[in-house]
Every structure is written in structure tokens, then in C-alpha cells.
Amino acid sequence: MQIHIVSVGDKMPAWADSATQEYLKRMPRELGVKLVEIRPAVRAAGKPVAALLKLEASRMQAAVPPGATHVLLDERGQHWTSTQLAARLQDWMRNASTVAFLIGGADGVDGEIRAKADLELSLSSFTLPHALARVMLIEQLYRAASILKGHPYHRA
């Protein structure tokens, strides 16, 4: 199974890069996780947000493998527990799915990305800093894999 984390933002703070690399290193071999950083559209005076989001949407779509399940991270998405994520991860693994988790930029995502999403998932009802959302997602994927393996990392 392949997981692609397609994330708008290419200059993360050192703490976020360090945490991301740590969890990527811990992932089991059968769960290939690839982080794809999308360069954000340049915010300049006079550029409408809708045009910026369209540009970022095209960059995101180009990074998603054909046939992948699209999971949009959004504060208005479904709220799952770690064990619910683990159950869905197990389904995806059984079906040898490719899953793309999509994290928008500072202004969110274009409606095209939202329309193509097979699932909208929330990490929190809070609005999170982009770097923290990325780290939280990767940690939760590691936690879900740990649950499936019966590893003591997750204690319920």
C-alpha cells in the first residue's frame, strides 16, 4: 500500500521536519509513505485568492497518483478516533489501495479539490498551523499502523 501526503507548503520549521522524518522512519515497510511538498502560489497584492487556490489545486492534482483515494484534511471533516483510522487503514491495505492525504495551504483548498475528495477528515476542530497538521497526520498514521500490529505505542 502507498500513502502520499500531498501538502501545500515547502518551508517547514526545523522541528516539523525533524518530527516528520522521525515518524516516516518508524513506518512499517508494508506501509510506504511519501511526502510531496507543493510550492504555494505566490501571494502578491491584487491577486485574487480564488486564482491562487486554482493554481495550488492544479499542483496538488498533478502530485496525486491516478486512481488514488483522495482524503482531504479539513477542520469541518469527519472526526475519527485513532482506532477508526486504523480500521480504515486496514481496509485500504487489504485492497492494496493508494491513498492521498491532501493538506491545503494558508487559504484552504479550491472547490475542485473538495469535490474530488472521497473523504474529508478532521484532525481537530481547532485551526492548526500547517506544520503541526502535517506532523499530527504522520503521527496518527504511525499510531494506526501500531494499533494494527498490536504494538504498545498506542495505549487505549
pLDDT (tens digit per residue) in 68-97: 999 999 989 999 999 999 999 999 999 988
C-alpha pair distances (Å), 155 with each of 12, 105, 146: 30, 33, 10
The whole-number pLDDT of residue 113 equals 95
3-state secondary structure of 127: coil
Measured distance CA(29)–CA(126) in Å, rounded: 32
Amino acid symbol at 38:
I
Model's pTM, two decimal places? 0.93
Residue 154 pLDDT > 80 = no
Domains of the chain: 2-149 (3.40.1280.10)
